[in-house]
Amino acid sequence: MRVNQILPDKRQMILKILYQSGGEPVSGVKISETAEISRVAVWKHMKALKQAGVNIKALPTGYKLQDAGNLLYPFCFPTHLQDRIFHFPELDSTMDQAREMARQGVRQASCVIADVQTAARGRLNRQWDSERGGLWFTLILKPDLPPPLAWTVNFAASACMSEVLTDLFDLDVRVKWPNDLLLKGRKLSGMLSEMETRADMVNFLFLGIGLNVNNDPASDQYQAISLKTALGKSVSRKQILTRFLDLFESRIAAVDPPRIISRWKARTATIGADVRVQTHDRVYEGKALDVDDTGALIVEGRDGVTRKIIYGDCFHC
């Protein structure tokens, strides 16, 4: 757990100065005076920021921040989100970091972001490739829900992200049961939730989301795609996350399972498709008929038997 990977205060201050310049170069003298550090310290911090993956260009007139739309530090977001954003250049796993921070009392819907994850995991404990350029984050949620309704949060999140990406980029992004996103039939995003309960209610729900944005995903097991690949250009991770957080928070303010399922079904690529569903110990093949009011997938097997599948990895055939 690399909790020390969050940027030091002076480094964040320098980055904020560059960010607020509106894309104009800022002289080393001005940074030195504003941050109250020496010119040598400015140079050292700039070097460290570049090593952390921040795109800063040194010009004769000063330092210029490149690609500001891909910065995910708290000060980059609208005021109403800033105290919920926790950014790390690198973590083992945003899920593990979120679990630790939840016990420290951070507020509802806090968002733990990492530019790079070194030990991320997906569904069924698979490794999740999390290189620089993607959007990797975990939400810390404290829903007033009994555990049997926790699935509604996952379905709401996948439908929301699908809507956001479709609206922003005019792409036909579809949800795949239980909560992946597909673009052109290829995997664009994966989601994983983990839950802690207290008595008969959810205490914490950790919702981890990995979205291929400006990275170049490679997987031997999944056919993956990124937004950059689909659009032929880089896009703003900050814009995506801001739109998603606002929409998602409004959708889960009052949990309404029938409405959540209805919105999810409107965006699904799974219902009606031939599928193979892998659980911990079995594989089911057949046609996906529906998703019921508990979030379970209804599959008509090749043997003619209709089954209700509660949990598993779903592949479209």
Task: State the Cα–Cα distance between residues 302 and 106, nearest whole angstrom.
Answer: 48
Residue boundaries of the structural domains of the chain:
3-66, 74-265, 274-316
CATH 3.40.190.10 correct for 74-265: no
Q: Is 123 annotated among the ligand-binding residues?
A: yes
pLDDT at site 126: 64
Per the DSSP assignment, residues forming a β-bridge with 88 are 114
- Give 82's contacts (C-beta < 8 A, 6+ positions apart): 74, 75
How much of the chain, in percent, has pLDDT values that exceed 90?
79
- Give 73's contacts (C-beta < 8 A, 6+ positions apart): 7, 12, 15, 16, 19, 85, 87
E-strand spans in the chain?
56-59, 62-65, 85-91, 110-117, 135-141, 173-176, 180-183, 186-198, 201-211, 274-278, 283-291, 297-301, 306-309, 313-316
Q: Is 276 annotated among the ligand-binding residues?
A: no
Four-way CATH pick for 274-316: 2.30.30.100, 2.30.29.30, 3.30.1330.200, 3.90.79.10: 2.30.30.100
Burial (0-12, 13-18, 19+ Cβ within 10 Å), 173: buried
pLDDT at site 280: 85
Per-residue pLDDT tens for 60-104? Answer: 999 999 988 889 999 999 999 999 999 998 999 999 999 999 999
pLDDT (tens place) for every residue of the chain, 317 residues total: 344 345 568 888 999 999 999 889 999 999 999 999 999 999 999 999 998 889 999 999 999 999 888 899 999 999 999 999 999 989 999 999 999 999 998 999 999 999 999 887 766 556 666 789 999 999 999 999 999 999 999 999 999 999 999 999 999 999 999 989 999 999 999 999 999 998 889 999 999 999 999 998 865 546 899 999 999 999 999 999 999 999 999 999 888 899 999 999 999 999 999 999 998 889 999 999 999 989 999 999 999 999 999 989 999 98
In 3D, which of 297, 263, 286 has the Cα closest to residue 174?
Answer: 263
Burial (0-12, 13-18, 19+ Cβ within 10 Å), 185: exposed
pLDDT at site 3: 40
Length of the chain measured in residues: 317
How many Å separate Cα 94 from the centre of its chain? 10
Q: Is 299 left (phi over 0), alpha (psi -120 to 50) or beta?
A: beta
Q: What's the pTM?
A: 0.90
pLDDT at site 4: 38
Residues 179 and 154: beta-carbon distance below 8 Å: yes
Task: State the Cα–Cα distance between residues 111 and 114, nearest whole angstrom.
Answer: 10
Kind plus residue range of the DSSP H or E element containing 248: helix 237-251
Ramachandran angles phi, psi of 8, nearest 5°: -60, 155
Q: Is 122 annotated among the ligand-binding residues?
A: yes
Token pair, residue 114, equals: 């990492």
How many Å separate Cα 61 from the centre of its chain? 37
- CATH no. of 3-66: 1.10.10.10
